[in-house]
Structure 1
Amino acid sequence: MPGPAALRLAVIIACWNYAEYVDEAIRSILDQKRNDCELIVVDDGSTDGSWDIIQRHPVRAYKISNCGQRAACSFGVSKTSAPFVLFLDADDALAPGSLATILRELDDNVAKLQFPLVRTDRNGVVIGDPVPNLGRFRDTGALAQLVLKNGTYASPPTSGNVFRRDLCAILNDATYDRAVDGVLLFAAPFFGDIVSLSTPLGRYRVHDRNDSGLGRPLDAQILRREISRFADRMSHLRRLIEPIGKAEDLVPVDETQYFLERSIYLAIAEGRRVPATMLWRLIGKIRATDNSLKNRSAMVAFLLFTAILPNRNARRGLSYRLDAGDRSMSGLLRALF
């Protein structure tokens, strides 16, 4: 273990019944042999032998009663004094040399650092482009304005983010959420700089047990949960930014692209007709984004076809988009037809 003076980053792995993956996640950190990082593994009440695998490694490990990812990660934060924290999903892994790259970019003004992740299948075979497609930049305020306007910004899955330790206290009040990559992502731009790297520094495993629903057919229950959780996150974010005078500037939940898009997906998943007014509001939101004309056109065309095609085709197209994340015109339309 590094001494307190040398410690700069803690990697926290919260594991729940991921015995087949957690060994690789742990080794991806230990093999980098950094004396300024520590690894903490929290077994969140696993019943599949994960704890036995975790104990094979020379790491600080704790076994607790099952409480969900967010609470398990908060427990891990309480066990470290590191000024920065990376929450690595137990089914993901960091790339060799990634810790050195991350540490070079961190200073006291950084609230969050982010980087893309290469998507793989359950066996580690690459299945698509890195997610998301990020540029290299250091943001000092533009992303906060984007959150106020849209409620979101392009951010990686859990394992592609590093947070300043003091921000992790936000998780303690997010009792509505079992996930750790919620309000913390969108509050960070209001409390410091966001450093974005364009090089993928880890692997994101897509399989049938992803909490996000990736790798599974379109699921109305998951969509309802996402919409409800997003509304709770926005309410929490509004409370967090009220002391700095930004709460009144935050867009209403039902006017965000995320809410409108997921509501349309839910209508299709439930076999209902897509409300025309909601569709046109969403198209207006997409046209107002700063995405390329090609991407905006592809998405608008996809939505229009999705709204008028038979439900079977629409469901198939949405399952493809949510699974593959393909926004190209050819990919989206090929999925529909």
Structure 2
Amino acid sequence: MGQRISTGPPAPPALAIVIPCYNYEAFVIRAIQSVLSQDRQDVEVVVVDDGSTDGSWSAILSTGVPAFRIPNSGARNACLYGLDHTTAPFVLFLDADDALKPGSLAKIIPMLDARVAKLQFALTRIGPDDEVISTAVPALDDYRDSEELARNVLAEGAYRSPPTSGNVFRRDLCEMLREADYDKFVDGAIVFAAPFLGDVVSISEELGCYRVHGSNDSGLGRTPEAAVLERDISRFRRRTEHLGRILARLGRGHEMTPPDQMYFHLERSLYRDIAVGRRPPAATCMRLVRRVWQQRDLRLKNKVGLSAFFTLAAMLPGSRSKAMLAYRLQTGRRSAFGLLSAIVSDQPR
């Protein structure tokens, strides 16, 4: 069982923090200290080393936190191992290259109650040396909701949600990870099943940090290759199929839009076309524009920007589209002027 992280009279743990680690020797101590420094008696922490081949295990042991070392089997299995060694009713899976901000737990924990299925909070993007790259992408709004989010999921298979480290899940939701043997990660079907099982609490304040560096599996900050985009499309379909099975048990599966008509699938298919130098079909671009304006959780400026992006993607030659895509997926600040500069430049940025 995870050991509570401060001295004094024991308190029932309200939140478990599981830190899976694979070859993040350079960052894992910072992740652990970002939790320990908050000195909470109602938090338990467990670190699971997923068969690292660098010095991660020694770094983890140096912190004195409860830790386990398992054969390499992917983040999902490492998280499940940590889940089985904690008891709190809510769980945060904190990636070993990310961190919580000081005082974040004091804001998160009071907002957790039995009706909450998931709490999410925004993450500041930082670089390898903790330098701030940008504010949160995606930006989040403050709300507590289930019905509107459920409608979004039925239509698009998703709603605006942060990376893994910005999510707190109720334990029964985490149990559904055991069904996801098709996936190495945890930020899939359970994220989008949440509004069908309780409320989702969203916090716009950036309470944690998402680190962008050369080893991110997400590829953030890099123009994706066609093979990576194919992988993303395939993963989305498997996650959506899993979500459909969960919703079928709740009597809602028949209400879902087919995966290949959902926004993410259409968007990634367009990116794949651009990556291989193929002009996206105009019909796909126009369908995406319609989808953008149907999404209620997008701000007006985002709708305008995305509509312009998809329209230009249908019109520009391959080299210009690639430059435009590289600019859109970069991690720093973006602007209409920057996008235009990327389009007219001879080389993709």
Give TM-score scaled by structure 2 length. 0.93
1:111 and 1:192 in contact (8 A); partners too:
yes
- Measured in 2, the distance between the counterparts of 1:325 and 1:218 equals 16
Q: 1:275: which partner in 2?
A: 281
Corresponding position: 1:60 with 2:55 = no
Corresponding position: 1:50 with 2:56 = yes
Correspondence for 1:134 among 115, 140, 146: 140
CA displacement at 1:331 relative to structure 2: 4.1
Q: 1:31: which partner in 2?
A: 37
Q: 2:171: which partner in 1?
A: 165
- Measured in 2, the distance between the counterparts of 1:168 and 1:242 equals 18
CA displacement at 1:328 relative to structure 2: 4.7
Correspondence for 1:202 among 198, 208, 211: 208
Q: 1:301: which partner in 2?
A: 308
Corresponding position: 1:314 with 2:321 = yes
2:20 and 2:49 in contact (8 A); partners too:
yes
With 131-140 and 78-87 compared, the bigger mean Cα shift is at 131-140
Q: 1:99: which partner in 2?
A: 105
Correspondence for 1:332 among 339, 343, 346: 339
Where 2:201 maps in the other structure, the secondary structure is strand
Correspondence for 1:148 among 154, 157, 177: 154
Q: What fraction of aligned residue pairs are identical, expressed as a percent?
A: 51
- Measured in 2, the distance between the counterparts of 1:327 and 1:302 equals 13
Once superposed, what is the RMSD of the aligned Cα atoms?
1.6
Q: Aligned AA for 2:343?
A: L
- Measured in 2, the distance between the counterparts of 1:301 and 1:236 equals 33
Q: 1:217: which partner in 2?
A: 223
CA displacement at 1:11 relative to structure 2: 0.5
Q: 1:285: which partner in 2?
A: 291
- Measured in 2, the distance between the counterparts of 1:149 and 1:72 equals 32
With 323-332 and 116-125 compared, the bigger mean Cα shift is at 323-332
Residue by residue over 1:122-165, the C-alpha shift from the partner in whole angstroms, topping out at 9 and shown as x without a partner, is 11110112232111111132111111111110000000000001
- Measured in 1, the distance between the counterparts of 2:101 and 2:299 equals 30
1:70 and 1:171 in contact (8 A); partners too:
yes
Alignment length (residue pairs): 337
Give TM-score scaled by structure 1 length. 0.96
1:17 and 1:48 in contact (8 A); partners too:
yes
1:56-135 aligned at under 5 Å gives the runs: 56-135=62-141
With 313-322 and 94-103 compared, the bigger mean Cα shift is at 313-322
Where 1:70 maps in the other structure, the secondary structure is helix
- Measured in 2, the distance between the counterparts of 1:294 and 1:94 equals 29
1:88 and 1:158 in contact (8 A); partners too:
yes
CA displacement at 1:216 relative to structure 2: 2.2
2:134 and 2:333 in contact (8 A); partners too:
no
Where 1:201 maps in the other structure, the secondary structure is strand
Q: Aligned AA for 2:22?
A: W
Residue by residue over 1:193-213, the C-alpha shift from the partner in whole angstroms, topping out at 9 and shown as x without a partner, is 101111110110011111111
2:223 and 2:329 in contact (8 A); partners too:
no
* Residues 317 and 8 of structure 1, relative CA distance in 2, 3 Å threshold: same
Residue by residue over 1:236-292, the C-alpha shift from the partner in whole angstroms, topping out at 9 and shown as x without a partner, is 001001122110111111111111110000011112221222222112211222334
CA displacement at 1:6 relative to structure 2: 1.3
Residue by residue over 1:298-319, the C-alpha shift from the partner in whole angstroms, topping out at 9 and shown as x without a partner, is 2111122223223222112212
- Measured in 2, the distance between the counterparts of 1:288 and 1:333 equals 26
2:91 and 2:171 in contact (8 A); partners too:
yes
Corresponding position: 1:40 with 2:30 = no
